[in-house]
Structure 1
Amino acid sequence: MKNKIATIYEKAERFAEITKIAIMGGNINRAKKCLGLAERLFETGSSETKGVISHVYVFSISSFMELRHCTISNLFPKALKAEYIKQISASGV
């Protein structure tokens, strides 16, 4: 197995996949923990981290929710929910 160094973007994408798997599997507690961790990273991280959480993680989760017609936006913590609403508003949905 090759030793691959994952970029911050790849890590955020993988983290989003883990969150989506938890949602699809009905493991809401795990999904809430993932979203809570993303919220902490968004609030306390560097500007790069905040950008990645917004543009990769939140975008991936919100796109997933929209495609599957999920109504789980109430799971989003405060700051992530604001980012989610910004993305929905910007897309014209």
Structure 2
Amino acid sequence: MARCALTTIDNPYDPFTQFDAWFQFDEGKGYHSCAYLARIARTSDQLSGAENEQEIERAIDDIIKYNPLGIYKKVKETVEPEPAVTA
């Protein structure tokens, strides 16, 4: 399974493994990528985790598609699925 994140072409930090540094750089530049993504993605507590991940990826794709400044890009990280819990 892959997780996606929105970042900018000039951010040297990995949003998956270096989130604090990534976030500080992003906010310092005035991009506010997390807030931007939150406005576009229609996530919900009513959706499953997988459905929310799909919605986040859709929103990232839209941001990149309509990216007038040309600064955004999508990065992916492969994660192992969590094992099913059996009773």
Q: TM-score, normalised by structure 2?
A: 0.36
Give the TM-score taking structure 1 as reference length. Answer: 0.34
Compare relative contact order (CA 8 Å, sep 6+) and give the higher one, 1 or 2: 2
Computing the radius of gyration from Cα coordinates, the structure with the larger value is 2
Going by fraction, where is helix more abundant, 1 or 2? 1
